[in-house]
Amino acid sequence: MPKRVGPFVVQERVKPVAYRLQLPDTYAIHPVYEVDAIVAWRRRARRVEYLVRWKGFGPEDDTWQSAADLRNASQILRAYRSANPAAR
């Protein structure tokens, strides 16, 4: 299996920073991932993306996500933007 796959459809918000993903039946992995922290940001094609560290995973598994992707992690996103005002 490739190191990174997706994107996947978010089925529901399980906790404020955990999501249930719609995964293919052939995937033998847990479908819920929790945001641990936002560790960086960048501008790409007129939008801001945030580098997300996932709970239980290391930096090698960080992924770039849009603000829309993080709508269920609004407290973490708000805190990151407050500490990094240019990241809007």
Delineate the domains of the chain, giving CATH numbers in brackets: 9-83 (2.40.50.40)
What digits encode the pLDDT tens for the residues 9-65? 888 887 777 778 888 888 777 667 789 999 999 999 889 999 999 988 899 989 999
B/e letters for 46-82, b = 16+ CB within 10 Å, e = fewer, are eeebbebbeeeeeeeebbebebebbebbeebbeebbe
Q: Which residue has the tokens 């992690």?
A: 73
Radius of gyration of the chain (CA): 13
**pTM score of the predicted model:** 0.68
